[in-house]
Amino acid sequence: MDFDKLRSAGYLTNHLARLFAHALHGRIAPLGLAPAQFMTLLELWEGDGLTQVELVSRLDVEQATMANTLTRMERDGLIRRAPHPEDRRARLVFLTDRARELRAPAIEAARSVNADMLEPLTADEQNVLVDLMEKMVSARRTARRQGEMAGEE
Amino acid sequence: MDFDKLRSAGYLTNHLARLFAHALHGRIAPLGLAPAQFMTLLELWEGDGLTQVELVSRLDVEQATMANTLTRMERDGLIRRAPHPEDRRARLVFLTDRARELRAPAIEAARSVNADMLEPLTADEQNVLVDLMEKMVSARRTARRQGEMAGEE
DNA sequence: CATATTTAAATAGCATGCTATGTATTGCAT
DNA sequence: ATGCAATACATAGCATGCTATTTAAATATG
């Protein structure tokens, strides 16, 4: 009947995510970026001209969430959206020059946040942590795909 | 200039936190609970009659966040707030009977979410993960306290 | 070919989280 | 005692995330 939140993976993950988000916000806000925008840019910097559907599947957020994030990014001059040449339902997302210029400083900011947050761990521990988190995330992706196959809705 | 998001602790933590929140939501929504409400109840089940300030410091969220969560919990019949006998600015938060009844099923739901999410890891790996996350969180708490001492605002 | 289903996006409505600010009350220091 | 600073809480406004629904276009099926 008792529950030790300080040993609960879910509780700790939530807490850590808030700490990471707070730190990232502090370092990219001066660049005019918000965390979800940065996450989206990470994909677009690898190559733009993607549809919303493609961004959704790569970033694993809901379609509605991405639609809103893209609207804010367009408002903030980070992207523009052009009609898809072969599918009139879809729009392609392109980076603006401003967004391209932010790549180096924003990535540097994110790196420093990771470094600061991981600082209490040894290099080995840092690698173990990332390995374990990666394992959990990819197991979920697999589980979800198989659930879909089985028609769980 | 490149950045591997799949090896970024911040990115992975954000992703995992969304997966945990989604899973928890799915299992406590039938009880009429939302994740932040559950987190707050975890404290109150240990003993109610706390002020908002006390909840804020134990859960490490901002005061405004807690104020809004408590308003929703009052609306949903989980808590009631009574005037503090010695400080007319403050209010004491008490659980309703309904909230007390939810303790066992809600904790059981949270346990099963943790178990499911951690399932891809061995028992040892699970302990290591929790140890490392705990270490990061408590290091942050210390760092923040010392920052405050030094007057960083 | 016509209709039904699926797909891409947008929108509405809500919960959490944040920062910034306002309001009342308390407490300290003169 | 007064008057300023600190404290407790509420509120406004915004970003992210979600589910559910709507609209339009593309596909598939009869």
A125 by DSSP, 3-state: which?
helix
Res. B141 pLDDT band, cuts 50 70 90? confident
How far does the CA of B85 sit from the C1' of C26, in Å? Answer: 14
Any A CB within 8 A of B120 CB: yes
Go through chain A and tell me how many residues it has: 153
* Nearest residue (CA) to C1' of D23: A89
Give B75-114 as a DSSP string. HTTSEEEEE-SS-TT-EEEEE-HHHHHTHHHHHHHHHHHH
Phi and psi of A64, rounded to 5°?
Answer: -65, -35
| Cβ separation A39–B137 shorter than 8 A | no
Span A95-124, pLDDT tens digits: 999 999 999 999 999 999 999 999 999 999
Res. A153 pLDDT band, cuts 50 70 90? very low
Q: Give dist(CA A68, CA A61) in Å, integer.
A: 11
What pLDDT, on a 0 to 100 scale, did the predictor assign at position A130?
A: 98
- List the single residue in A3, A114, A137 with the smallest CB-CB distance to B9: A114
Residues of B in contact with A21 (CB under 8 A): 14
What pLDDT, on a 0 to 100 scale, did the predictor assign at position B150?
A: 61
Q: In whole numbers, what is the pLDDT of chain A averaged over residues?
A: 94
Any A CB within 8 A of B4 CB: no
HSE-CB for B71 with a 13 A CA cutoff:
6
Residue A64, pLDDT > 50, answer yes
Any A CB within 8 A of B65 CB: no
Any A CB within 8 A of B126 CB: yes
Cβ A89 to strand D below 7 Å: yes
Phi and psi of A145, rounded to 5°?
Answer: -60, -45
| Cβ separation A10–B110 shorter than 8 A | yes
Long-range pairs of B50-59 with CB within 8 A, sequence gap ≥ 24:
B50/B92, B50/B93, B51/B84, B51/B90, B51/B91, B51/B92, B51/B93, B52/B90, B52/B91, B52/B93, B53/B90, B55/B93
Q: A2 is written with which tokens?
A: 């008792």
Residue B82, pLDDT > 50, answer yes
What pLDDT, on a 0 to 100 scale, did the predictor assign at position A143?
A: 76
Phi and psi of A77, rounded to 5°?
Answer: 75, 25
Q: In whole numbers, what is the pLDDT of chain B averaged over residues?
A: 94
Go through chain B and tell me how many residues it has: 153
What pLDDT, on a 0 to 100 scale, did the predictor assign at position A150?
A: 63
What pLDDT, on a 0 to 100 scale, did the predictor assign at position B126?
A: 98
Give CA separation, B110 vs A19, A106, B61, in Å.
Answer: 22, 36, 20
What pLDDT, on a 0 to 100 scale, did the predictor assign at position A142?
A: 78
Residue A96 · residue A78 · CB < 8 Å: yes
| pTM (two decimals) | 0.94
Q: B6 is written with which tokens?
A: 């799949």
Cβ B65 to strand D below 7 Å: no
Instruction: Name residue A87's beta-bridge partners.
Output: none
Span B83-128, pLDDT tens digits: 999 999 999 999 999 999 999 999 999 999 999 999 999 999 999 9
| Cβ separation B39–A118 shorter than 8 A | no
